[in-house]
Amino acid sequence: MGVKALAVPVLAGRAAAVAKLRQGEPGGRRRRRGGGVLPWAAAGAALGVGAAVVVPEPRTTRLTGRVALVTGGSRGLGLRLAREFGERGASVVVCARDGEELERAAADLEGRGVRVRTVRCDVTEPGAPEQLVREAVAAFGHLDFVVNNAGIIRVAPYEVLEEEDFREAMETMFWAPLRVARAALGPLAETGGSLVNITSIGGRLSVPHLLPYSCAKFAEVALSEGLGAEVARRGVRVTTVVPGLMRTGSQRAAVFAGNAEREYSWFALGAGLPLVSVDAGRAARRIVEAAARGRSHLVLTPLAVAILAARGLCPSLVQGAMRVMAGALPRPSAQPREKRGAAADTGLVNGAVRRAAVLNERAAADLNQEPRRDG
């Protein structure tokens, strides 16, 4: 099967699988006649098999004496990147808004022998990115890597989104990375360092029910690629990272609205299925190696490569798949409530999703994500 033909059923199949699961719930259109969640989880995983080509592990470049700053480094992919930099010998500065999360992250990193400093800050606040970079340089004397990783995820249909939701996404995933980059260019030019921007496949393909996120990530991709071309003459390298689905436990911290429990189902299932999503540790190793080698572009996961190829070859076909996916996603409830993922993870279907996506549940526990709550 060619990549163009492969990408479309993968995208549509994820949402369709969850829609099938929902047919057995009270109020569903008809009873599920048997099989439960596991056959559909297996089917979803099977859709990714064709895309899951063997990608060799990158060689490990040592980073002894180097210094890395990671925004949003207290949990998820950011924490895994901080570990990877530290395990290669780098000193690490991590920032986040939540002080308790930062304390746990610092304890995790110090327990692994990593030299770490934490900075509590909100990168969307005026002056915060500039102060963050100053503190990072002061902590270890110089700066070799800056990773724009901080992000937010809001999963909801367009009907329940407000303009403020788009503004918040843009502030966090476009304006903040721009300000961090502007502040860091001087220190990075002094060391011939690298700026790493963690974008998303959502910055190349706008996914239904993730509009604010996709809009911000599209802008961040443009910023990263254009900036990389312009600052090369100063000796600064820019790596644009385009991840596909990763098992980072991000479903715990994401915000869900419209029909929070059902929105959680499809998001958690898609982000956690083996072969469709990639292990966070493997992703971090590839990202850090790409930054160390000065690569300008990195697409993570074979599925993301297939989607980008399909979109380039036949954008109308991929857009048709997005319409199929949107039709399978949940409609807003009569009284929509906004919930964090830890609170939206309730009901029989989400219990089944947890079992199907057990690797992502383990990632959430390992990467300092908010624990699950049953209420």
Residues marked as catalytic: 213
Sign of CA dihedral 362, 215, 181, 278: positive
Spell out the alpha helix ranges (H) of the chain: 3-22, 37-49, 76-87, 99-111, 128-140, 163-170, 176-191, 211-231, 260-272, 280-293, 302-313, 315-328, 341-344, 347-356, 358-366
What is the spatial order of strands in the sheet that 255-256 belongs to?
154-155, 255-256, 339-340
DSSP track, 131-196: HHHHHHHHHHS--SEEEE-----EE--GGG--HHHHHHHHIIIIIHHHHHHHHHHHHHHHHT-EEE
- In sequence order, the 6+-apart residues with CB closer than 8 A to the CB of 77 are 149, 198, 243, 246, 248, 250, 280, 283, 284, 367
Tokens of 161: 């989104």
Q: How far apart are CA 85 and CA 135, in angstroms?
A: 18
Tokens of 281: 């540790």
N-terminal to C-terminal alpha carbon distance within the chain: 44
Q: Would strands 339-340 and 255-256 be described as parallel, antiparallel, or unpaired? A: antiparallel
Tokens of 111: 């327990």
Q: How far is CA 290 from CA 3, 150, 200, 281, 282, in A?
A: 24, 19, 16, 14, 12
Cα-only R_g, the chain: 20
Element (H, E) at 93: strand 91-96
Is the separation of the CB atoms in 38 and 356 below 8 Å?
yes
